[in-house]
Amino acid sequence: MRHPLRSVAITLFLLLLAAAACTTVPYTRRSQLMLVSESTIDGLGAQAYQEVLSKEKIERSPAAVHAVTTLGERIATAAAHPGYQWQFTVIDDPRQANAFALPGGKVAVYTGLFPVARDTAGLAAVIGHEVGHVVAHHAAERMSQNMLLQVAAGGLSVALGAQDPATRNAVMQAFGLGAQYGMLLPFSRSQESEADRIGLILMAKAGYDPRAAVDLWNRFEAQGKDAPPEFLSTHPSYGTRERDIAAWLPEALQYYQPSGAAVVSLPAIAERR
């Protein structure tokens, strides 16, 4: 006889699939399975963005704000998603050579990124990458994947209900490790690569030479600390990233208009302390 809880898990899984929407990533044309609506994930992104900013020191210097917002708006225009409420914020933290984006067009750049980016072309590679995550709906896709894994884990737990605790725990632990290293981390790396590819196109459409991305990642590699092996990381290795970017440059250069934007040095925000 089929276990009633197992039937519930299977039914829930089928309902999730029935509610899913199939979308296509811009430029790469990759198909996606979505279990959350765009309005839901955008609302969560706006909420998370405000929570992060409430805990950080916001950089107010006109030079830094102008560099990031002007460049960000150029890339957002190239992304052609007028429904998004784009917002670009500079966070005052010279120790963080980083940036992030949240659903709905919420982007933040840390001042520690300025010395590595050096100029607006380098910064365009970073912001293009972050905007690439947004237009590819990567956050919604990750949430959908996690929902499916949770249902699968619940169904497996029910199916193992008659097993002894040691066996059940061993199988569930193996499932968790398999999902982490065989699915979640590789999927995260593939999304990072996809954001790189889309970012090259967006920076080119905005008037910035996509070849600047190669120099940017060379600088990141030169100043970076020891990184974990690629299979343990959420991001591709520097070597993988540089090879992929080199392979995608011919595609991105088709969108490049050299007269589009002047390249200027970024203000030395991180060096003033």
Q: Which alpha helices (H) appear in the chain, and where do they start and end?
A: 4-19, 38-55, 62-79, 114-117, 120-135, 138-159, 165-179, 185-205, 212-223, 238-253
Q: Is the pLDDT of residue 7 over 80?
A: no
The rounded mean pLDDT for the chain is 85
Choose the catalytic residue: 38, 59, 130, 271. 130
CA angle centred on 243, ends 110 and 194, rounded to 5°: 60
For the question of residue 73 being annotated catalytic, the response is no
Average pLDDT on 179-192 reads 79
Task: Tell me what pLDDT residue 2 has.
Answer: 47
Dihedral of alpha carbons 92, 96, 97, 98, sign? negative
Most confident of 131-135, 145-149, 228-232: 131-135
Percent of the chain with pLDDT over 70: 85
At position 236, the amino acid (one-letter code) is P
Most confident of 46-50, 172-176, 235-239, 262-266: 46-50
- Among all chains, which residue has been given the structure tokens 């990381």? 233
Task: Tell me what pLDDT residue 175 has.
Answer: 67
At position 175, the amino acid (one-letter code) is F
From residue 143, alpha-carbon distances to 47, 120, 248, 256 in Å are 16, 32, 28, 34
pTM greater than the 0.75 cutoff: yes
Closest C-alpha to 246, from 207, 181, 200, 208: 200
User: CB neighbours (10 Å) of residue 261?
Assistant: 19
Task: Tell me what pLDDT residue 169 has.
Answer: 78
Q: Is residue 130 a contact partner of residue 100, using CB atoms and an 8 Å limit?
A: yes
Q: Is residue 100 a contact partner of residue 46, using CB atoms and an 8 Å limit?
A: no
Q: What six digits make up the tokens of 65? A: 């704000």
Measured in whole angstroms, the distance separating CA 2 from the mean position of its chain's CA atoms is 41
DSSP 265: B
